[in-house]
Amino acid sequence: MTAVLKVDPLKITFDGIHARIAPSKTLDNLRIAVDALKKDQVVAFPTETVYGLGASCQSTPGVQGIYAAKNRPADNPLIIHVSSREQLETTLLQSVPSPKIPPIYVPLIEKFWPGPLTILLPLPENTTISPVCTLGQSTFGVRVPANPIARALIEMSNLPLAAPSANASTKPSCTTAQHVFNDMRDRIPFIIDGGPADIGVESTVVDGLVSPPQILRPGGVTLEQIREIGGSAWKNVVIAKPNAKENEKVRTPGMKYRHYSPQAYVTVFQPGAEHKLVDFVRNRKATKVAYLRSKTFPKSAFAGLENVQVYDMPLGTTNKDISHNLFNYFREADSLGVDLIIVEGIDVTEEGLAIMNRIHKAAGEIVEAI
């Protein structure tokens, strides 16, 4: 039986890197979750990106529990979450000589930690990280989440947490505790409910160990921000190919297998292709359509179309709003039993790169303007 633990992020403050929580239900529920993690159990918790499914990265039974709960492919590595750079250095990099973090990352983590940035680091010799996290890789991904609940949970337990998104494998990522409950009911003991995630897509994953450095997965930190903040070392950063081959080892989640997909068929209409909407729906003989429009497509695109129920789902007109709403609307569309989801494509600048990365991975078809 899965229990939902209510936690109020406003009850949590930080004295430097240490969480401060007055006696309250929030503190009681966090202690329950900490106790579960120390017993090698799996706990879902909110981050600023999406909800995560966490267990101690130093516990092989705990990490195996994540894979089992998600039905996750056994060759898909996990990102590790720490409460601070100090915790990273003292618990996972204690055997690494200084500087423990490669200098190329320093300007980025000074700006974006805590936050939605994951960096790849060399796996130390005699590492305490479970091999089930890294799956034979010579590197591991790590970040410091900005959500106070996530940071407090990790700091209170003193356990770096391996934590992929808290959805069942292939489904859209979870941005609310209810989404997690729908996917993980009776699969895990506890879900921490800390309200909706702010960003709505996962962290950006960067690899500064190669030349030129790469963005392995676009996310909450944009390409433009990395080039601006990272200095000369990141001016020529490249975007890695979005999909890995079947037998290829991957360095980060999201590069392999079907991802982020609702049950209904997803079609992306690129800007300028709105004149093809009606004929497309007719040709597919769709009867229930979710219409996820954003910046330019009109609400009235399907006016006069008979025998089709169209659910209008405006994602918003800013990239931040679209990012925040995307996975939620994917899940809402499934709850309505639609047979077709139409998504308006956007430009791949700033947050649009991560948004379109997720949409393309979910889509079965892309309709161009010409």
The reply, when asked if residue 84 is annotated as ligand binding, is no
The reply, when asked if residue 203 is annotated as ligand binding, is yes
DSSP 287-355: SEEEEE--SS--GGGGTT-TT-EEEE----SSHHHHHHHHHHHHHHHHHTT-SEEEEE----STTHHHH
**Per-residue DSSP letter, 89:** I
Residues 363/343, Cβ–Cβ less than 8 Å? yes
The reply, when asked if residue 29 is annotated as ligand binding, is no
Is it true that the peptide bond before 242 is cis, omega within 30 degrees of 0? no
Closest CA to 165 of 49, 321, 335: 49
The reply, when asked if residue 187 is annotated as ligand binding, is no
The reply, when asked if residue 257 is annotated as ligand binding, is no
How far apart are the C-alpha atoms of 346 and 356, rounded to whole Å? Answer: 7
Residue 88: φ, ψ to 5°: -55, -45
The reply, when asked if residue 251 is annotated as ligand binding, is no
The reply, when asked if residue 81 is annotated as ligand binding, is yes
Residues 44/188, Cβ–Cβ less than 8 Å? yes
Give the three-class secondary structure for 366. strand
The reply, when asked if residue 173 is annotated as ligand binding, is yes
Give the three-class secondary structure for 224. helix
The reply, when asked if residue 143 is annotated as ligand binding, is yes
In DSSP terms, 6 is beta-bridged to 193
The reply, when asked if residue 2 is annotated as ligand binding, is no
Closest CA to 80 of 204, 173, 163: 163
Instruction: Report how far apart, in Å, the C-alpha atoms of 205 and of each of 223, 264, 281 are.
Output: 11, 28, 36
Structure tokens at 268: 């992306």
Reported as half-sphere exposure (CB side, CA atoms, 13 A), residue 361 has a value of 28
The reply, when asked if residue 128 is annotated as ligand binding, is no
H or E stretch including 155?
A: helix 148-157
DSSP 124-146: PTT--S-HHHHTT-SEEEEE---
Residues 137/75, Cβ–Cβ less than 8 Å? no
Cα end-to-end span (Å), the chain: 52
Residues 58/160, Cβ–Cβ less than 8 Å? yes
The reply, when asked if residue 185 is annotated as ligand binding, is no
Q: Per the annotation, where are the binding residues for ATP?
A: 72, 76, 139, 165, 173, 217, 260
Q: Per the annotation, where are the binding residues?
A: 49, 72, 76, 81, 139, 143, 163, 165, 173, 203, 217, 260
Q: Per the annotation, where are the binding residues for L-threonine?
A: 49, 81, 143, 163, 203
